[in-house]
């Protein structure tokens, strides 16, 4: 599924156009086979409708399921089945001395109908080689009808479970691929036109609510200093305010988010260039670090105090985790460290990477 809906759309549209071109070519040469090509073109045109119903939540996961079954399960089944079909067909062809290529195709037809349960026993067992024909027939029924068909059903059942488990994610992925494929086909000026926008302008809609009089409860990440911690930590906190104050604060946060996204893009490009340089040059090493913000991870320490009675008590201390990746020429590895200090400053980073 690495190519997904884009591959499906290209395959079906190219196949349909090819059929139409072949029909026109046959008409020019006055060859009487254009009706057959027309029949296949009609089939491809209707199957092409799958591409248009894939973006919808109701039908998208089902289309993905059919796609995965056809190109994974059925394809593998057909490869194995063709080997057995050719082998059994040639065995019956040799055994009953059927003449020529037409006789071999007749044997293939009878074996294929046997897969569908349409058995005509006189085609498989004759008096000349009664026991040999019966043995081949039993082997064919066991291997093809019982083993392979049930194996195909089991494979499709596994595929159904896998797709159903991640149906929503796969649907979002294929819908994104379709949007990217459509956008790549139009120019940048048309893509930025307000007519082609498929998102909602939150800021304009929020301004319309400023005349409303009600309170709103929301959650925000704020910096908060814990005991046993040297620096503030990000904490999820709940607030309640009027809708007017909330809209004002929200718009300010959106305005701050735009330059932040631009900085993230610049950092991503710089990081990519640094990784590439480290993997090409021997005198450059690039280290990517990531501190965890999981302050629910704690350790318990026991402290003993001597007073009038010997006693001990426990207290909890927050732990921070540093994970990272190191790139150098022809090599890349990950590392991690645990610290009882939640300080994410440069000195803490240096202490964590000294062992490298």
- Residue 134's pLDDT is 78
- Residue 194's pLDDT is 63
- Residue 153's pLDDT is 86
- Residue 306's pLDDT is 46
pTM (2 decimals)? 0.46
- Residue 154's pLDDT is 86
- Residue 318's pLDDT is 64
SS (H, E, C) the chain: CCCHHHHHHHHHHHHHHHHHHHHHHHHHCCCCCHHHHHHHHHHHHHHCHHHHHCCCCCCHHHHHHHHHHHHHHHHHHHHHHHHHHHHHHHHHHHHCCCCHHHHHHHHHHHHHHHHCCCCCHHHHCCCCCHHHHHHHHHHHHHHHHHHHHHHHHHHHHHHHHHHHHCHHHHHHHHHHHHHHHHHCCCCHHHHCCHHHCCCCCHHHHHHHHHHCCCEEEEEEEEEECCCCCCCCEEEEEEEEEEHHHHHHHHHHHHHHHHHHHHHHHHHHHHHHHHHHHHHHCCCCCEEEEEECCCCCCEEEEEEEEECCCEEEEEEEEECEEEEEEEEECCEEEEEEEEECCCCCCHHHHHHHHCCC
pLDDT by residue for the chain (356 residues), tens only, comes to 445 667 777 788 888 888 888 888 888 887 777 788 888 888 888 888 887 887 787 887 888 888 888 888 888 888 888 888 888 888 878 777 667 777 778 778 778 877 777 766 666 666 667 777 778 888 888 888 788 888 888 888 888 887 777 777 777 777 777 777 777 777 777 766 666 566 666 767 777 777 778 888 888 888 777 665 566 667 778 889 888 888 888 888 888 888 888 898 898 888 889 888 888 888 888 888 887 655 555 555 544 444 444 444 445 556 777 788 888 888 888 888 777 666 667 777 777 777 77
CA gap 134, 125 in Å, rounded: 6
- Residue 50's pLDDT is 81
- Residue 237's pLDDT is 85
CA gap 352, 43 in Å, rounded: 63
């Amino acid at each position: 599924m690495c190519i997904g809906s884009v591959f499906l759309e290209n395959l079906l549209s190219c196949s349909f156009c090819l059929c139409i071109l072949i029909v026109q070519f046959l008409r020019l040469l006055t060859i009487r086979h254009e009706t057959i090509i027309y029949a296949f073109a009609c089939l491809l045109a209707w199957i092409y409708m799958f591409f248009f119903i894939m973006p919808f939540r109701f039908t998208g996961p089902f289309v993905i399921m059919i796609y995965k079954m056809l190109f994974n399960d059925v394809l593998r089944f057909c490869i194995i089945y063709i080997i057995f079909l050719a082998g059994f067909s040639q065995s019956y062809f040799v055994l009953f001395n059927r003449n020529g290529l037409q006789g071999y195709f007749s044997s293939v037809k009878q074996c294929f109908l046997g897969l569908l349960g349409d058995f005509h026993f006189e085609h498989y067992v004759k008096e000349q080689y009664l026991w040999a024909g019966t043995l081949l027939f039993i082997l064919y029924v066991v291997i093809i009808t019982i083993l392979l068909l049930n194996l195909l059903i089991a494979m499709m059942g596994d595929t159904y479970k896998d797709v159903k488990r991640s149906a929503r994610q796969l649907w979002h992925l294929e819908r994104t691929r379709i949007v990217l494929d459509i956008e790549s086909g139009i120019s940048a000026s048309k893509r930025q036109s307000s007519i082609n926008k498929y998102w909602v302008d939150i800021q304009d809609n929020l301004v319309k609510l400023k005349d409303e009089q009600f309170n709103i409860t929301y959650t925000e990440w704020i910096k908060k200093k814990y005991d046993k911690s040297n620096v503030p930590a990000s904490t999820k906190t709940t607030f309640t305010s009027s809708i007017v104050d909330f809209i004002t604060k929200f718009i300010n946060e959106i305005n701050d988010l735009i330059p932040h996204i631009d900085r993230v893009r610049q950092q991503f490009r710089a990081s990519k260039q640094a990784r590439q340089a480290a993997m090409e040059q021997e005198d450059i090493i690039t280290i990517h670090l990531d501190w965890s913000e999981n302050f629910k991870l704690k350790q318990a320490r026991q402290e003993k105090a001597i007073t009038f009675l010997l006693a001990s008590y426990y207290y909890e201390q927050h732990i921070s985790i540093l994970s990272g990746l190191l790139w150098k020429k022809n090599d890349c590895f990950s590392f991690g460290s645990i610290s009882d200090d939640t300080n994410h400053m440069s000195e803490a980073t240096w202490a964590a990477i000294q062992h490298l």
